[in-house]
Structures are given as structure tokens and as C-alpha cells.
Chains A and B, each alone.
Chain A
């Protein structure tokens, strides 16, 4: 027998409340004269039943009558017309802490509230400790509740309600109360209730939770109910229905449809949704809180059939999002920009592309694999592939022929330092997510005022699986180049050289450093982007976390030499005091030779941390060489004829214990000034010659 039966429910409210004044509009005098007050119907002809163990979602815009319907089911108010029958005890999580008396202690209120929710004293005794533990009230349980913070109040109310073990739970947007941690606990608890087979009637604006939790969804619109075949279809219908308003725009081509709706993008390919219900959205992490783009006030400022510009102002941060979307073919280009009115504390920004859990496979770097199943006990995001490498193309696809079409995501143009990461979400959200994580947006996590272009993503909603698999070829595992006895390995910003499997470099190995504002900026500290290998050539870009420049390294290992071309890209006018490109070598190298001189490296002095020059003549040259009795000779040579380099030999401090060959560039006078754009920084080679030992 159904737990809840609603039969042709209608509910009307008088347009005025109360009896009205004797003579006022709609008052007694008007009534006597036969002027009737107006009625409006908030619910009209609602009929449905809820069987035991079902989870039913109620969705709809504000004012659609969701809460009124819950109140009718809870018995709080009676319908004007129709019949409602509820068999079993109903606990509403809609009004937490109802009937708490401010002067009574938490303990007394738990018992009273339990009773109001239909528990006996013994029932409350049994779960009392659980209630206190869940609410996290602790020793405050014996203090009067008027000393509680509003968060504690709500937590205690929620704890009593979920432990009252009713037959039906009515849940109304409770997930929007409390702090982050408590919200997570609530979601877990609701997930648990769900897996215990409890009957739940769920009202929420968070469509993704409705989608995962509910067996059925009822859409209320203007007081009338709509049900489409499946949960997803009803939600889709709702999204389409609200698609007419100011924060919403639909971009469509023959096969693709993208609905930009108040800070969330829902993407469809051939009418099947690619995105999960949460869609694609941006999360700003600030001071321990996550501010999601759907919470902003959105306005679509420019629209066309295949694109739009949406601007969303965050309610609690001085930040405005600007999204530019353009659809061409099956590719949706999404340019994300944020503007800070003033410097803002931001620990990070996550661009989250939530996609259906029907995507079974991922591609990342040089790998591909299957997404694990999302288990009901999963309560946090699970990284499916370590997102450490900086990758600029990735994708996912489904092995189900009826599943969604493959998805490819590519980072184009200049992006702030970021990394891409595939994860499974927690069970309640229940989908895959590609996260673009920006964790380094300014010194001390303060994002300066002004406009910041974050990233531009090309999202191909109808991609080709083979093309996605092809991305793997670009990423060579270990990112190493080998030519005969010589291997160049790149990891964590460090370029090292190996001769017959043994490393001959030491300390920072091959690196460059720029002196500006009295700070040496070593290349191993740059934010290194993806590594692009093709044949014998490796290309990699490192971007400064501090100053407006990036270095583009191109390394080509052939004919027993590593050909190095470094260019520097200035994003702004940029000045350098001096800079160098160097290679740190093992201490077995004991002699050096420049264009002008020949000498021995001095011995390392215990306790001396300063670097010591070995040569005396600093006149510009092209070559500097290190020699050893046991290791192959190493030559650093500059081939950029128009840039003068002083080729020098140095000892590092005793701790690093390395010999250094250096190509140093100092300005003739003043500083080296760079205009915005790309400039040559160093061009040359490192030759390792086994035959040329001493």
C-alpha cells in the first residue's frame, strides 16, 4: 500500500491574509458590499503516490508550490480540495529545530523535539548519544539552546530529525545550511538513509543530488505537476522550460545543444546529455569556503545562435565571472575570465566539468583506463589518475554503444598555471569530473585586482575516440630523450644528463636563472607546463610564479649533443639585471678550458657556501669545457652570434659540491629590457664526448 497518496490536490490562498481591517480594501465593509477578495491557486490537480522505499524528488522554480506541497503531506496544512492520505510517520527535515524552546537545555529540547516528531521517551534514550555525536554539540548539550550559535541550533535539529526513524522523510533544501563539513555529513546521512531503503521526498534546487538520489522526479511549475519518463528527462524538461530567462541561453547546432544556465553549462549531443546534472561550473576557493558559479547573479549580455557572453557576479566575493562561449561544429569553446574588484584571497579556482557516469574510460597523458565504479560509501572525490603531469589535452568515452559520444577537452592559448585531473565524485553527486585546478593565482594566495584570463577550453562534445587515444603519443613516459650513450631526462623542472646510465650532472643540472628585483629566478622553480615530445625533440614551457615571464625550452638530442634553444616570453615590460644558462656537473670534473684560458677547479672548502669563479678572464666567448679523468668531457657552447655570453667555470658551495659551466649574460650598461613578446634567451648546445677525456 502506498505510504503517501495524493488525489487531485488543490490549494488556494486568499490574496490577503487575516481578516483585514473593517473598512480597508478587502475588509469587512467590502465583503458586505459583495466585493470578493481574490484567491490564487498555488497547487492545482496534484495526484501521485509514494510507495515504501521510494525516493521522489520535487523540483521547480521558486514559488512553484514545492514547499506548500510538502506542508500538505506533512499535515501542517490541509489542501483546499482533494484527498491526502499518509500512512506512517512523517519527519520533515524542512524546518529544523521546530519547537525548540530557547530557555531549555539542548538535552531537554532533544527529548521534546523527539516527542514532537513522534518518538517515545525510550526511543530518544536509545539514540540520544548518536544525536549528540552527530550534531557535534558536545558538552554544550546541557546549556540552554539560546546560547547556541544558529549553526549549532540547526545541527541539533537535523540530528534529532534524522535519528527519529520515521517512515517518510521530507527533505527541503536542508543541504544549504551549516558549514561545508556539516553539509557533507548531511549528504552522507541522506545517502545512508537512501541505501537503507527509507522513503524520501526530496525538494532541492541542486539537480545533481535530485538526480542521484531519486527514483522519480516530479516537476512543479505554476502549481501544476509535470512528469516525464525518467528522472533525467524530467530534469531536462525543467532545464529547457526555464531556458527562457535572463541568466540563461541556449546555443544549438544540429547535433549539439549547450544550455548556459546561471553559472552552469549543460551540454547535449544528439539530445543526450553529456554533462552530469551539475553541468560545467567554476568553483572559487576562498578562506576555506567554496563559492560555486551557480551561486552568482548571472546575466547573458550577448547572445547569438552559436555563442554567448555570460557575466556572473559572485554574491560574497568581489569577483565577476565572464564566460565567452562559442559553438562551432561539435566543439564548444569556453573562455573563462574572472575580474577582481580588489585583491582577493583565493586559494584556488577549480573549473569542474561534471560528466555522466556513463563515461567508462579516460585518457590522460600517455595513459588510458577505466573509471572505477562509484561505491555508495564513497564520500569524497576520488582521483582516478594522478593529475600531477601538466597535460593540455584529455578525453573520456563510453564503451556502451548507447552511451554518450566521446568527449575531448583541450586547453588552447595562454592559460594560468593549472593542471587537469580526472576524478569520480562522491556517491550523492555520482558522476565523473574533469577538474582544471588553478592553485597558484598570486603571491600569498592573493589574486590581484583586475581582469584575469584563466583559460580557454575547447570541449568537443562529439569527439572521435581514436583521436582521443592519439593524444597519448604526445606524452612520452619519463619524458626522456636518448641518443646513443647519452640520455637527457626531464622531471620536476630539472634537466639532467646521463652517460651510459650514470648521471654526470649534479645539483641543479642544466638550468637557467634570471636576476631581477634582487632575486635569482632559477628555472627549476618555474611552473612547467606540459611536455611535448616528438622524435628527438622535447618542448616544454615554464612560467614564473612571480614575474610576468615564461621560458620556452626546446631540446634536441642528436649527434652526441643536446641542442638547447631557450626563448623568453615577457607578458609585460620586463627587466633583468643579468641572466645565465648553466650546467652543474659532478665534482670528478677537475679541469676547465675556456676560449681564453685553461685551469683547474679549486678544491671545495668546507663550510663555504658562496660560489667561486675559477677563471680570471671574463671576456665574451662561445665555449667552456669541463674535463675529468673518469668521465666524458662536457662542453657548453653558445651559438647565438648576436648575444654575447661570458663563458665561465665555477664551483658551487660545499653542500651542492658541483662544478658549473656557465654562459652568463650581463648588460653593457643598466638592465636588459624586454618588450612584451618572445625573445631569444639562449641558443647553444651541450656536447658530451667520451673520446675526449684527459
Chain B
């Protein structure tokens, strides 16, 4: 009882931040499970949507880019891996990133009534808001694995371990961005719109329905394209997933060095900004 439960001036270092999160994990799980349970309630097909959504998305992309514009995309033909696997790998991890960031950005505003009323570590809200996307990712991943076995005729090997490493990098980046965007969005609602636009552009600026090689081909005509693309940390990440899963190899260092650097930088900035704004978030909701 004499332990300080709340103080506005207590130091909140990085380690402390993490400890607070660990201490509040119960609440975190409850909030996530609330989201999941509420999500598909009143929807007749329930969780089927979570499976259908990435599948249908893949189907349409496969049809449009694989069949209709198939001839123009190098990776469709003459590659060692099936276009379908490549597409699905890029797609599920992109969709995870996009939906998680989109949701996290508005999470503080969506949960205004809670934040304005009760004290708890605010970080929980943007993080908990990503739970749904994680579940969707898991479902998509099962579908990916099934397809892999069907097409390749074998189980994926050591590449799964490397995939986890890349996923770790993506998560650090995602959490950093979520903290940054969610807290800024409370003060400047522009951030929400900016994130929407950025995600829409990101879908094309990330090798999802094409591969990095396709861009290298095109780069002869548009030299700027490659350098702009290389600024996007997700390029390295998505390519890294493909290397890990499809080539069973650890991604080249020059491929993932920039994403790692970006992730750490974004996390540090995100935590700093979130800490700066979170105590008075309630005043702006």
C-alpha cells in the first residue's frame, strides 16, 4: 500500500516503461481479448472474415498483376519461386503493418472515454489496439504455410527462424511508429490523415506485388525510383521475409541494416514523444 502507484514526477526511464508494461500485462490481455471478442460479434460469419480478407485480397492482386499485367512484371515469369507465394508473403506482412499502424494511430482517440476516466499506463492502448492485426496475421500465416507446402511440396526449414528475426525488426518499427503517431494524433488530428495517405502510397512503394528485382530492371529508365524506394525500411523488411522463407537464407546485412537502424531510431523517438504527451492526453480528448 505504501508503494507509489502513481506520481507525476517519478522518473520514467526506458526500463521502467518496460516494467510498467509487464506489470499491466493482465490489463493488456483483457483489452486485446475485448477487442477480439467485440470485433466479429453481430457478424454472422464471425472469424471467417479474418481468413477471407487476406485471401480475397491476394486473389485480386494475383489476378490483376499476375494474369492481366503478368507480362510486364518480371517476377511473374522466369523466377525460381512461384508468384503466388511471393505475393502472399509480402501481402500478409504488409497488411499486418498497415492495419496495426492505422488502428494504433486512432487508438487513443477511440478509447477517449477510458483515458479521460481511469489511470493506467497509456502505452497499453496503442499496443493493445494491434492485437487484432496480430490475430489476422496469424491466420494469414497459416494460409501461407499451407500454400507453401502445397506449392513447394516440402516444409519450410531454418528460414522460419530468420523470418522471426525479421518480424522482430518489423515489430520494433511498428511499436515505435504507433507510439509516435498515436500520441501526435491526439494533438494534431492531421497525423491520422497523413498516416492514411502514407499507407496508401506505401502499398505501392513496397515490393508486395512485385519484387525488388523488378524495380532494378525499371531503374534504368527511372534512376530516382531505386533511391527513393531504398529509404522505405519496409522494402528491406519485406524482401527479408522473402529471402528467409523462400530462399531459406538469412537476409543480406545491407538489406536489413537500414530497417534495423530505422526501427531503433523510430522507437526511441516514439517513446520519447509518447512520454512527453501521454500525461496530459486526457486534456486534449
**What string of 1s and 0s marks CB contacts (under 8 Å) between B1-37 and chain A?**
1111111110000000000000000110011001001
Q: Is B115 an interface residue (CB 8 A)?
A: yes
- Determine whether the beta carbon of B38 is less than 8 Å from that of A83: no
- Determine whether the beta carbon of B2 is less than 8 Å from that of A86: no
Q: Which interface class (under 10, 10 to 19, 20 to 34, 35 or more) fits A?
A: 35 or more
Q: Is A115 an interface residue (CB 8 A)?
A: yes
Name B residues whose Cβ lies closer than 8 Å to a Cβ of A: 1-9, 26-27, 30-31, 34, 37-38, 41-42, 111, 113-120, 187-190, 279-284
Name A residues whose Cβ lies closer than 8 Å to a Cβ of B: 1, 3, 13, 17-19, 52, 71-72, 74-79, 83-90, 92, 94-95, 98-99, 101, 103-104, 108, 111-112, 115-117, 120-121, 144, 167
Q: Report which of B7, B114, B118 forms a contact with A85, defined as CB distance below 8 A.
A: B7
- Determine whether the beta carbon of B9 is less than 8 Å from that of A86: no
- Determine whether the beta carbon of A87 is less than 8 Å from that of B117: no
Residues of B within 8 A of A115 (CB): 26-27, 30
- Determine whether the beta carbon of A17 is less than 8 Å from that of B284: yes
Residues of B within 8 A of A92 (CB): 117-118
Residues of B within 8 A of A3 (CB): 1
- Determine whether the beta carbon of A83 is less than 8 Å from that of B9: yes
- Determine whether the beta carbon of A76 is less than 8 Å from that of B34: no
CB distance from A163 to the nearest CB of B (A): 16
- Interchain residue pairs with CB less than 8 A apart (27): A3-B1, A18-B187, A18-B189, A19-B187, A19-B190, A76-B119, A76-B282, A77-B280, A77-B282, A83-B7, A83-B9, A87-B2, A88-B1, A90-B119, A98-B116, A98-B118, A99-B113, A99-B118, A103-B41, A104-B34, A104-B37, A112-B31, A115-B26, A115-B30, A116-B30, A120-B26, A167-B1
- Determine whether the beta carbon of A85 is less than 8 Å from that of B30: no
- Determine whether the beta carbon of A89 is less than 8 Å from that of B118: no
Closest Cβ neighbor of B187 among chain A residues: A19
Q: Report which of A13, A76, A78, A144 forms a contact with B118, defined as CB distance below 8 A.
A: A76
Closest Cβ neighbor of B188 among chain A residues: A19
- Determine whether the beta carbon of A90 is less than 8 Å from that of B5: yes
- Determine whether the beta carbon of A108 is less than 8 Å from that of B34: yes
Residues of A within 8 A of B5 (CB): 86-90
- Determine whether the beta carbon of A71 is less than 8 Å from that of B282: yes
- Determine whether the beta carbon of A84 is less than 8 Å from that of B8: yes
Q: Report which of A1, A52, A79, A95 forms a contact with B117, defined as CB distance below 8 A.
A: A95
Residues of B within 8 A of A98 (CB): 113-114, 116-118
- Determine whether the beta carbon of B8 is less than 8 Å from that of A83: yes
Instruction: Pick the 5 closest A-B CB pairs, nearest first.
Output: A75-B119, A78-B279, A95-B117, A98-B117, A99-B114
CA of A52 to CA of B1, assembled, Å: 10
CA of A117 to CA of B120, assembled, Å: 9
- Determine whether the beta carbon of A75 is less than 8 Å from that of B116: no
- Determine whether the beta carbon of B118 is less than 8 Å from that of A74: yes
- Determine whether the beta carbon of B117 is less than 8 Å from that of A76: yes
- Determine whether the beta carbon of B1 is less than 8 Å from that of A116: no
- Determine whether the beta carbon of A95 is less than 8 Å from that of B4: no
CA of A75 to CA of B5, assembled, Å: 10
CB distance from A7 to the nearest CB of B (A): 9
CA of A71 to CA of B280, assembled, Å: 11
Given the interface pairs A19-B188, A76-B116, the reply to whether A103 lies near B38 with Cβ below 8 Å is: yes
- Determine whether the beta carbon of B27 is less than 8 Å from that of A116: yes
Q: Report which of A1, A17, A71, A116 forms a contact with B120, defined as CB distance below 8 A.
A: A116
Residues of A within 8 A of B279 (CB): 77-78
Residues of B within 8 A of A88 (CB): 1, 5
